[in-house]
Structure 1
């Protein structure tokens, strides 16, 4: 009976997502590589109503539909996934928004996060490796003990300039966080950013902080009053 109920609910939720499809939203999202047409505010409203439902999240993810996968990440229980499940999900998550939400909303809350961080950091797939760098940035800020920051800077200096876009962005974030959070490495982080010039010309709206690492580091340090 529970299985039938879940199947029926899955169909209802998929129909609701289909009804929320907006051609203009899809057009804008697809320019960023995200293949869905559901406004994220409306998607979050659906998730808020459904609340946490791991039994629903699993088939939503399994549908392969991008909007359904985003909803799955909002209603799942992050600690319910095994290490291999998360690894498989990450390797399937090619849309940037699905990838970002999976790492930030699920993997970071998982007891397997550190093991996956180490494995993904060394993965030859640049999209997978970018998840390892995102988790490393989290540790740089919240739990740097045991991290070899000098070695991370060495890798960034050697590889970031020519890295594919998503991996480059993740490495750049780690570079900035090292410079912001660790004063003893700040001068080197600033120097690497200046020499490599990654994201120097990235279009930044007024009032927002540039992702160019030297500008980012300097602004956040200024705000901290250091």
Structure 2
């Protein structure tokens, strides 16, 4: 299928409720409002197709970007391509898919983490802190967690919402995965109060770091 045909199919699946949800979450006019299940069904039909994925990524539509993420081969993307792509993102849900499906296990993720944490681009910074959170959880041996906590304490209050979200993951993961730093992470979370009043659906855990940390630690002890 050509990109034009795929965009036509995506547009035919437009859903007003989904469009309203996306808009509330920060999406602009570059959307059709397609349900994620429908996007995944198209991806299954297309199967892995890296070149088509690259074309879809540049189509200027968030559903096309979701689809591109599902059909591209991450290992074929160079660090330079990833840096360009991350700065083309303009919707938090796309950013999160990009981190989960493309960046999480990419060979260049460590170099990009270091590079993006120095970036002035909010989407690169968001991705950098997402990679940092993952490293804190899985491979924190070389990290100075005390210095990280001081940095988070200083920078989180001033961070733009897109970046603040993944910085909060880093703070929570320090408290969850590193008992020696838990008390300090809890203290910083209480002091900053970020996401203290965040609306949460029944059965879900609040992103407010102290609640999140305590809940995850409690689950680990069961």
Quickly name the TM-score band, shorter chain normalised: over 0.9
Q: Which runs of 4+ in 1 moved over 3 A?
A: none
Supply the distance in 2 between the matched residues of 1:164 and 1:49 (Cα, whole angstroms): 38
Q: CA deviation at 1:12?
A: 2.3
Which of 87, 93, 102 is matched with 1:91 structurally?
Answer: 87
Q: Does 1:113 align with 2:89?
A: no
1:21 is matched with which residue?
Answer: 14
Q: CA deviation at 1:127?
A: 2.9
1:41 is matched with which residue?
Answer: 37
1:194 is matched with which residue?
Answer: 190
Give RMSD over aligned pairs: 1.3
Consecutive unaligned residues in structure 2, runs of 5 or more: none
1:134 is matched with which residue?
Answer: 130
Which of 186, 210, 214 is matched with 1:214 structurally?
Answer: 210
Supply the distance in 1 between the matched residues of 2:193 and 2:37 (Cα, whole angstroms): 35
Which of 4, 12, 23 is matched with 1:11 structurally?
Answer: 4
Supply the distance in 1 between the matched residues of 2:77 and 2:100 (Cα, whole angstroms): 14
Point out the more displaced range, 179-188 or 19-28: 19-28
Q: CA deviation at 1:140?
A: 0.7
Q: Does 1:225 align with 2:221?
A: yes
Q: CA deviation at 1:96?
A: 1.1
Which of 67, 70, 76 is matched with 1:74 structurally?
Answer: 70
